[in-house]
Structure 1
Amino acid sequence: MDIVGHVRCFIAVAEERHFGRAAIRLGMAQPPLSQRIQRLEKELGLRLFERTSRSVTLTQGGALLLDDARALIAATDTFLASSARIRDGHTGLLRAGLPYGMAGEPVAAILANLHRHQPGLKVELHELSTTEQLTRMTSHELDAGLIHHPCDTTGLELGPVLRRELGVLLPPASSLATRDEVPLSALTGHDLILFPRADAPALYDDLLTTCARDGYTPQTVRHGKGDSFISGLIHSVNAVTFTPPDPAHPTDGDGTGIVWRPLAGTPLAWRFSTAWPKNRNSAAVTAFADAALNVLRDTPGVSTDLPPRTLHLRPASEYWL
Structure 2
Amino acid sequence: MDLVRHLECFVAVAEESHFGRAAARLGMAQPPLSQRIQRLERELGVRLFERSSRRVTITEAGTLLLADARELLARSDALMATARRIRDGETGLLRAALSPDIAGETVAALLADFERRHAGLELELHELTTAQQLARFASHDLDVGVVHHPCDVSGLELGPVLRRELGVLLPGDAPVAGLDEVPLASLAGYDLILFPRAGAPALYDDLLTACARNGYTPGTVRHGQGADFVRGLVLSAGAVALGPRDTRPRPAEEPERRPGSGPGIVWRPLVGAPLALRHSVAWPKGRGDAAVGAFADAATHVLRTTAGATADVPSRPMHLRPASEYWL
The TM-score by the shorter chain falls in which range? Answer: 0.5 to 0.7
Q: Distance in 1 between matches of 2:269 and 2:205?
A: 21
Listed as ranges, the gaps of 5+ residues in structure 2 are 1-81
User: How far apart, CA to CA, are the structure 2 residues paired with 1:114 and 1:161?
Assistant: 20
2:245 alignment partner, SS class: coil
Task: Give the SS at the match of 2:211.
Answer: helix
**CA contact under 8 A between 2:166 and 2:243: conserved in structure 1?**
yes
Post-superposition Cα deviations, 1:180-222, rounded to whole Å, max 9, x if no partner, equal 2111111110000000000100000000000001111101000
After superposition, the Cα gap between the structure-2 partners of 1:134 and 1:288, relative to the gap in structure 1 and judged at 3 Å, is: same
> What is aligned with 1:199?
199
Correspondence for 2:322:
314
Q: Is the 8 A contact 2:164 2:276 kept in 1?
A: yes
Letter in 1 for 2:108: A
Give 1:107's aligned residue.
107
Counterpart of 1:239 in structure 2 is 239
| Alignment pair present for 1:287 and 2:294 | yes
- What is the aligned partner in structure 2 of residue 171 from structure 1? 171
Structure 1 residues 219-230: aligned runs within 5 Å: 219-230=219-230
In the alignment, which residue of structure 2 is the partner of 1:262? 269
Aligned amino acid, residue 288 of structure 1: F
Q: What CA distance in whole angstroms lies between the structure 1 residues aligned with 2:318 and 2:245?
A: 28
**Matched-pair contact (CA < 8 Å) for 2:149–2:318:** no
Any idea what the Cα deviations from partners look like across 1:104-160, whole Å, max 9, x if unmatched?
222222222222222221110001001101110111100000111121111111101
**SS in structure 1 at match of 2:278:** strand
TM-score, normalised via structure 2 length = 0.67
1:208-227 matches, cutoff 5 A:
208-227=208-227
Separation in structure 1 between the aligned mates of residue 214 and residue 155 of structure 2, nearest angstrom: 34
Q: Which deviations, in whole Å up to 9, do the C-alpha atoms of 1:227-281 show, x marking residues without a partner?
A: 2211121122210001122463567645342221111111011111100011222
TM value normalised by structure 1: 0.68
Residue 278 of structure 1 corresponds to which residue in structure 2?
285
1:118/1:172 Cα in 2 relative to 1: closer, same or farther (>3 Å)?
A: closer
Indicate the SS of the match to 2:152.
coil
Q: 1:312 to 1:100 in 2, by over 3 A?
A: closer
In the alignment, the residues of structure 2 paired with residue 179 and residue 91 of structure 1 have an alpha-carbon distance, to the nearest angstrom, of 51
Distance in 2 (alpha carbons) for counterparts of 1:254 and 1:138: 48
Distance 1:312 1:102, change over 3 A: closer
- Secondary structure of the residue aligned to 1:123 is strand
Q: Residue 300 of structure 1: CA displacement?
A: 5.4
| Residues paired across the two proteins, number | 234
Moved more, 238-247 or 186-195: 238-247
- Distance change (3 Å), C-alpha of 1:290 and 1:237: same
Q: Measure the CA separation in 1 of the matches of 2:91 and 2:165.
A: 40
8 Å contact 1:253–1:259 — kept in the other structure? Answer: no
Work out whether residues 170 and 260 of structure 1, in 8 Å CA contact, stay in contact via their aligned partners in 2.
yes
Structure 1 unmatched ranges of 5 or more: 1-81
Q: Following the alignment from structure 1 to structure 2, what is the Cα–Cα distance between the partners of residues 284 and 300?
A: 22
Q: For 2:299 and 2:234, locate their aligned partners in 1 and report how far apart those are by CA, in whole Å.
A: 31
Percent of matched pairs sharing the same residue: 60
Distance 2:114 2:200 in 1: 27
Query: Which of these two proteins has the greater Rg computed from alpha carbons?
Result: 2
Q: Is the 8 A contact 1:166 1:244 kept in 2?
A: yes
1:249–1:260 Cα contact (<8 Å) kept? no
Q: Which residue does 1:184 correspond to in 2?
A: 184
Contact 2:117–2:294, Cα closer than 8 Å, also in 1? yes
Cα displacement string for residues 20-74 of structure 1 (whole angstroms, at most 9, x for unaligned residues): xxxxxxxxxxxxxxxxxxxxxxxxxxxxxxxxxxxxxxxxxxxxxxxxxxxxxxx
- Which residue of the partner structure matches residue 248 of structure 1? 249
Contact 1:164 / 1:269 at 8 angstroms: preserved in 2? yes
Distance between the aligned counterparts of 1:211 and 1:102, measured in 2? 22
